[in-house]
Amino acid sequence: MGDSESFVIVGAGMAGAKGAEALRDQGFDGRITLLGEESHRPYERPPLSKDYLMGGAEFAEAYVHPETWYADHRVDLRLNTTAQRIDRSLRQVELADGTRVDFDKLMLATGAHPRSLPIPGHDAEGVLHLRRVEDSDRIKRTLTEVEHLVVVGAGWIGLEVAAAARQAGVEVTVVETAELPLLRVLGREVAEVFAALHRDRGVSFRFTTALDQILAPSGQVTGVRLTDGLEIETQAVLVAVGVDPAVELAADAKLRVGNGILVDTTLRTGDPNIVAAGDVANAFHPLLGKQIRVEHWANALNQPAVAASSMLGGDRTYSELPYFFTDQYDLGMEYLGHVDPGEYDEVLFRGDVEAREFIAFWLSEGRVLAGMNVNIWDVTEQITTLITSGATVDRQALADPSVPLNEHIAR
């Protein structure tokens, strides 16, 4: 690609910023335009529900690049800019103000939107969501003003905010439609660990129920009514019921969508001039043998290098194992792999579950599909090897902390 080529990236989050970086690192010398709806230059989102929310880090630490990086690398960063439409025939992105940006290649890193609840009171003062830094700032202020918070949804965001609230001295009730937190993601065996963790810190759970109404007779939240009839007094409600991938541009452009933008192992869409990366990309994974979409930091960090290669005519494939992490109270965790409900035979524990210092392995026919290390560190490389090898493991050796993970495990 010569310096006359023009590449456009829609979405100025971490994936978009890393896409611009990867293009320069891989030798692209043409024009790069990075379009973002927010007023901030690209930043990482995990701190919004972790250190930044709890006051342990400054927002400046979350920026992907220093302020001068974009000019220094000739990246035309346009903030407060909304892409309205993609014209594939003319290879142009139409912006909300009617102007158009030409592209030779296009990367879609549009991320995701937090879901709302279509119930009475959903727009009352005191109803919170978390996606952008302004949301985190609002939650942080709220935790200094209220005595009680209802968290709707016991996923990662819901539990991390619940932990932050408890550490701020706020009473917390978590409402979840499933029987346990993170049940679909982790299965019953490990979900019990997180339920106990939060109960030990004073969190109340209401399982197998949902919100019927947010009570706000004067426009300000005063409580919630659950579908089982229970009413709970509260001054704030965090809605953390997941996100929807931002596929609107792609769908309007007649690209294939389905739980995200469908891409192959090279992150190309059906249009050879368009790739996708990050939360919005539903990519075919060569090791797992299926399409998966992962809403975690590691994809936004690692996928853009492959997408950039594809924009430059390369043939790299994205085969990184799904990875995510969480910090809640004194529990730190890393998870590697991917297991859908019903895909595993058993969960095998290695270490002390009650002390919350262990590794959990999800097994199918003696093979490791995923591993999660809790308050045990520097084992991700060994866990990765166990997963990617596809080897049958010695269960007794795998469960024995005295046996090194890299020795005598695989049969």
pLDDT digits (tens, 9 = 90+) for 180-200: 999 999 999 999 999 999 999
Per-residue pLDDT tens digits for 3-19? 689 999 999 999 999 99
What are the tokens at 83? 């892409």
242-288 tens-digit pLDDT? 999 999 999 999 999 999 999 999 999 999 999 999 999 999 999 99
Q: Is a pLDDT exceeding 70 seen at residue 176?
A: yes
The percentage of the chain sitting over the pLDDT mark of 90, rounded to a whole number, equals 95
Whether 139 contacts 233, CB under 8 Å? no
3-state SS of 356-390 is CEEEEEEEECCEEEEEEEECCCCCHHHHHHHHHHC
pLDDT at 141: 97
Rg of the chain taking only CA atoms, in angstroms: 22
Q: Residue 243: phi, psi to the nearest 5?
A: -130, 160
pLDDT at 406: 77
The DSSP bridge partners found for residue 152 are 175, 239
Give the per-residue pLDDT at 3: 65
Helix (H) or strand (E) holding 197: helix 183-200
Give phi and psi for 251, each to the nearest 5.
Answer: -65, -40
Domains of the chain and any CATH numbers: 6-113+243-311 (3.50.50.60), 116-239 (3.50.50.60), 330-399 (3.30.390.30)
Q: Residue 408: which pLDDT band, with cuts at 50, 70 and 90?
A: low
Tokens representing 153 are 């949804």
Which pLDDT does position 409 carry in this prediction?
67
Binning pLDDT at 50, 70 and 90, where does residue 399 land? very high
The yes-or-no verdict on residue 1 having pLDDT over 60 is no
Give pLDDT, residue 328: 96
pLDDT for residue 410 is more than 80 = no
Q: What percent of the chain has pLDDT over 70?
A: 98
| pLDDT tens readout for residues 298-348 | 999 999 999 999 999 999 999 999 999 999 999 999 999 999 888 999 999
Distance between CA atoms of residues 175 and 298, nearest Å: 28
